[in-house]
Amino acid sequence: MPTYEELLERVKKELPETSISRERFQVPEAEVLLEGQTTVLRNFADIADAINRKLQDVFAFLLKELGTSGSLEDRRALFKGRLSADKINKRILSYVDEYVLCAECNRPDTHIVKEGRIAILQCDACGARRSLRVIKKAVKTEEPILQTGKVYEVMIQDIGKKGDGVARRENYVIYVPGTTKGVVVKIEVEKIVGNVAFAKLASE
């Protein structure tokens, strides 16, 4: 006589993939890092992948709900201001409730379709459909303060222990070899680690 657990496992194997996906569905916790007056969501792309939604769509929602501006940098999201992980996690779960989970069967097996100007959440598990609130794309975003490969004009404010010039831009400290204190130079950013950047003199 099969046990209850064996019968349950047999039923699960016979169900369609979408019917059991809710059990495996987990939204990753936000990995938040504060850099000066900037909040970095380090695993933003992993969260968007887990809920199967576009980075820009989730990002636009977060900017609006958090009431701030920001930018995308590789797989990270940057927000202006100091925000707690708890606050960001709550906004992410709000997005999942409204734009991912089916209101009828509560499963995440959904996708968004457009019918004219109306966005519809279509459930692949039960077939339910409901209209969605449109997230306005005209949310103010900002370019990252520093980006690798870009040229900036800075003043060398100090000399580091190894003899490199030290410049500052917002909350970033930038090391520039071959410069002297007090000069204004054009630099090309080569590497950024946290809020420390390494640059070289830009070629004219």
Give the pLDDT means over successive 10-residue stretches in the chain (204 positions): 58 46 76 90 95 93 92 90 94 95 92 90 92 65 76 92 90 92 93 90 82
What residues are paired with 34 via a beta bridge?
39
Question: What CA–CA distance (Å, rounded) separates 160 from 157?
Answer: 10
What's the pLDDT score for residue 194? 83
- In the CATH hierarchy, which top-level class contains the domain 151-201? mainly beta
Q: Please state which of the four CATH numbers 3.10.20.30, 1.10.530.10, 3.30.30.170, 3.40.50.970 is assigned to the domain occupying 4-131.
A: 3.30.30.170
What's the pLDDT score for residue 18? 42
What's the pLDDT score for residue 19? 41
3-state secondary structure of 152: strand
Question: What CA–CA distance (Å, rounded) separates 95 from 132?
Answer: 11
Q: Is the alpha carbon torsion for 174, 71, 101, 83 positive or negative?
A: positive
58 exposed, middle or buried (CB, 10 Å; 0-12, 13-18, 19+)? buried
What's the pLDDT score for residue 171? 79
Domains 4-131 and 151-201 share a fold: no
Pull the structure tokens for residue 113: 């379709």
This prediction has a pTM of 0.60
Cα→Cα distances 58→41, 78, 118, 137, Å: 12, 13, 18, 11
Question: What CA–CA distance (Å, rounded) separates 135 from 65?
Answer: 10
What's the pLDDT score for residue 54? 92
Question: What CA–CA distance (Å, rounded) separates 120 from 181?
Answer: 59
Q: Residue type for 198, please? A: F
Alpha helices in the chain (DSSP H): 4-14, 17-24, 44-51, 55-66, 85-99
Q: Where in the chain are the domains?
A: 4-131, 151-201
